[in-house]
Amino acid sequence: VETIFDTLNAKAALFAIQEYFVKSGKTLPVMISGTIVDASGRTLSGQTTEAFWISVSHTQNLLSVGLNCALGSKQMRPFIEALSRVADYKTSLYPNAGLPNEFGGYDETPEFMAEQIEEYARSGFLNLAGGCCGTTPEHIKAISDAVAKYPPRKEPEIKPYLRLSGLEPVVVTPDTNFVNIGERTNVAGSRKFARLILNGEFEEALSVARQQVENGAQIIDVNMDEGMLDSEDAMEKFLKLVMAEPDISRVPVMVDSSKWSVIETGLRCMQGKCVVNSISMKEGEAQFKEHARKILEYGAAVIVMAFDEKGQADTFERKIKICERAYNILTKEIGLPPQDIIFDPNILTVATGIEEHNNYAVDYIKATRWIKENLPLAQVSGGVSNVSFSFRGNNHVREAMHSAFLYHAIQAGMDMGIVNAGQLEVYAEIPKDLLELVEDVLLNRRSDATERLVEFAEKIKSDGQTEVKQAEWRQDSVEERLKHALVKGIVEYIEEDTEEARKKCPKAIEVIEGPLMDGMNIVGDLFGSGKMFLPQVVKSARVMKKSVAYLVPFIEAEKEKSGVSKARAKILLATVKGDVHDIGKNIVGVVLACNNFEIIDLGVMVSCEKILETAKKENVDIIGMSGLITPSLDEMVHNASEMERLGFKVPLLIGGATTSRVHTAVKIEPNYSGPTMHVLDASRSVTVVNKLINEKLKDSFLKEIENEYEKVRVDHNRRQASKTYLTLKQARANKVKINWQESRITTPKKPGITTLQDYALAEISNYIDWTPFFITWELHGKFPQIFEDKKVGEEASKLFDDAQELLEKIISEKQLQANGVIGLFPANAIGDDIELYTDENRDNVLTVLHTLRQQTQKTGGNPNQALADYIAPKETGINDHIGVFAVTAGIGIEPLVEQFEKDHDDYNSIMVKALADRLAEAFAELLHEKVRKECWNYDSDAHLSNEELIKERYRGIRPAPGYPACPDHTEKEILWHLLEVEKNSGIKLTENFAMYPAASVCGFYFAHPEAKYFSVGMIGKDQVQDYGRRKEMKLEDIEKWLRANLSYES
């Protein structure tokens, strides 16, 4: 079965082969060969190499798995290497002799192919080698001669883990955390999903699946068991739609039904390796075996319910007896790999008042432990909410029961399950009296456990939960109250509790060293284990700072030489010179401070001299540099070089929106011999810093980073070498073709410059896109669906409420001011430049904008775009126009931030900056709409919702300097002179062309209906030289500003 670009098609062929073997009684070796269609390393249907292998790895009588066709021999290396690493069968490779040329021929010679494939044989990737399209007997002989001197690849020992796949692999190892199964694509688990499916709105129902994946579900459970549905038809229709959505189908599917016909329908739609939910011996062994054989042929894992002919297993003895019997049948008679068996030993409801039910939770936990100890490699799953069904309507008690049950079940070995993570109390935070009552019930520790929990539940109805909890924690000791306040982010009582604790301690410093640090250690542990989210951590830091601020005068008065407890390490943070963006840096600082690291934050626009001078003076242990705009990348390279020149050895951490692991490895790390690494976000910073200061872990960690970055550089260089670039002349010949004579050009209704001072924030706020706001706080999910997320929904709702409260205050008290300036001008394109004119006579050139053109080789007839393509060329005689703008919502932000920081309130300091950013983007959206419908009036009939505006479903584009379509930040200078931006709006430009205030946006308006966003990408030296001439700038200066886009070393 070869040239597989659609794995589902291949699985159908493999299924037919297995059926033939069974019916004929004959067997033959089976060879499988997939086809990678481009440099992304995926099949045409989207699977990665490893996911493809997992999908077909169930094949019986398998001789080999490999790759063929599509790419030439040279491009195959990373993909055959990946396959050889994960496949415990022989591997084959028979590529084309390159890609077809323009005459349909193939260019790779026998010598060239032999050289490439020899290198793969030498590296131990191959067992079989050959050639596909374009190869000749001469090719095969050359390949044969080249590989003959090397031994065949030794098949690796692959650990027998549960391996599933969608477009991407999911491997469940002993180190994998609890696997969350998304249940909302279940007509019984979501009223919204059921309504959409019953109404036939299958496309809309995809949003439910997408939301689950975005919110962290590692498997999605799909169930269509509803009396009013044709379940087979609904399952097929929905799964086929899911398979066409890469952002959903990247995760495995759990095909869920009580009807075998529905399960089999689902299995026939799955290109990946999925999970069947479920089979049991309820109808006897014969049917159980028949279904299991089919599952093996389809290549799926399976959930086995603890049911047999006598019914559901409700005792420990019955659970383990049924599971052991099923395990032996599946492994010994059917041949199902034990790691593909997932037992559900039945989580049943406790505290029903029926004595026989009292041991249900204990029996599940005991059965889980027994399964893990006695049925090797088998997994355990279950539906957690069943255990608390007796207390439906009382979320306070149910959440505590779920949390406590999971705590004990996971300790016993539970691997996965369906659970609403957003409604879980942190186990350590369950009030002691409630935890005791709950565990008495779950663990069946006393005969009156049910009565006592019911009595407690009667007193605490869900709507009174907060008041009860508050009353409870205020009765604790002051040490426990301080810890509780820190974990929950409660500031109301912090000063009085701190004072009470100070009076109890011999020294004020002991309050910090004792309960405050105990509380922050809990916060760090919860955040590190994913049980606490960033907004909560920042609130905790606010509590800590207020308490410490209260204690400082007393500590100083005591004049203790020891001073405040020694921090674990001293870390310097700074936003580099020319850059004003600091929200991410501030969040990292807060998170690290919460973990008892001393933070020296130098703020924004910090010169290299100041960073290194302070680092030496303060004897810091680590330096962290942040930046958002692309010129900051060059600044970081310079700073790293200076650290090397001055003999620094401390670790250098790189972070910020434009930074990346690749840039750090390729451009920054080679310039500094000390440890250098990219840190993705705040949640990773603690792990990285902890390893850097731990003498036992440091060396191995640095070696791991060194090896990783070396591989990144090799891969980067290989990718760069394989890319084909056009000359500038060729790229211009392939520009966007527009029929300008038939284009509808609208003359602006209100040409020239318009200023907007102190624009109404209330109106602007209606245009806010809230999704990036949550991303700022590292809560990932789309607004407003994020509120329904099981994991982060509750915290997102609290964050949103806090944001609304502060936003309302900002608006009502006019704490921020929004200013803007727009200009609409006559314009025409001259090559890749755009001339702007003083008036419609077009005799006087007002200024010139310069654009860059894509130079990568395009396929499928796609053009090499430049923004100038969307303005009518001067030679057409058509009078076109362009718009420019700059807006801010950050005027007045400094005193607000200063006041919050003075109050030790990092939470609101970060919040106000995040809101100002959102208001600035919203202002840009609002003005663009006004331009389209009023000032320029080229799209006056469009009526779009805010969601449609966010998705940019309007005519025209609004690209910004420094972004992919026009990556040159220096173009802002032209815009600033043209609109007198500083005078008209108050926005300044830094030396690196960052805007200040940071909550500012600028850009251009293009009105042509064919205009679309694109990325210039990498460009050649011929274009850089041409661009420098057009801008009258030196080559080295242009190269500095376009460093990230250069396809060559400068």
Active-site residues, by number, are: 579, 581, 632
- Residue 496's CB: how many other CB atoms inside 10 A? 12
Measure the CA–CA gap between 160 and 377, rounded to whole angstroms. 8
Q: Cα separations (Å) of 625 from 277, 367, 620, 813? A: 49, 52, 13, 35
Task: Give the number of other Cβ atoms within 10 Å of residue 16's Cβ.
Answer: 12
Question: Which tokens in the block code for residue 906?
Answer: 């990092």
User: Left, alpha or beta for 560 (phi > 0: left; psi -120 to 50: alpha)?
Assistant: beta
227: three-class secondary structure by DSSP: coil
Q: Is the separation of the CB atoms in 966 and 867 below 8 Å?
A: yes
Q: Beta 988-989 vs 833-837: how paired, if at all? A: unpaired
| 162-165 vs 169-172, strand pairing mode | antiparallel
Using only C-alpha atoms, the chain has a radius of gyration, in whole angstroms, of 32
CA distance 1019 to 1016: 8
Compute the distance between CA of residue 229 and CA of residue 226 in angstroms, rounded to an integer. Answer: 5
DSSP bridge pairs for 678: 654
CA distance 429 to 427: 5
CA dihedral 463, 467, 469, 475 (to 10 degrees): -160
Select from 1044, 659, 1027 the least CA-distant residue to 833.
Answer: 1027
Q: Give start and end residues of each alpha helix (H) in 416-477.
A: 432-442, 449-459, 465-473
Q: Find all residues with CB under 8 Å of 312, minimum gap 6, and list them.
A: 305, 306, 346
In angstroms, the Cα distances linking 662 to 76, 658, 708 are: 22, 11, 10
d(CA 555, CA 545): 15
Strands (E) located in 686-837: 752-756, 817-830, 833-837
679-702: burial string, b at 16+ Cβ within 10 Å, e else: beebbbbbebbbbbeeeeeeeebb
Sole residue written with tokens 């539970």: 414
State how far the Cα of 336 lies from the Cα of 58, in Å rounded to an integer: 9
Helix (H, G, I), strand (E, B) or coil at 275: strand
Backbone angles phi, psi at 18, to 5 degrees: -65, -40
- Structural contact between residues 894 and 815, judged by C-beta atoms closer than 8 angstroms: no
Neighbours of 475 (CB within 10 A): 8
Q: CA 14, CA 2: separation in Å to the nearest integer?
A: 11
Q: What is the CB-side half-sphere exposure of residue 910 using CA atoms within 13 A?
A: 29
Half-sphere exposure (CA, 13 Å, Cβ side) for 817? 12
Strands of the sheet with 128-129, listed across from one edge: 30-34, 62-72, 90-96, 128-129
Helix (H) or strand (E) holding 40: none
Q: Give CA–CA dist 462/1048, Å, rounded.
A: 64
- Contact between 329 and 288 (Cβ < 8 Å): yes
User: What whole-number distance in Å separates Cα of residue 979 and Cα of residue 966?
Assistant: 19
CA gap 205, 191 in Å, rounded: 11
Amino acid at 474: R
Other CB atoms within 10 Å distance of the CB of residue 722: 11
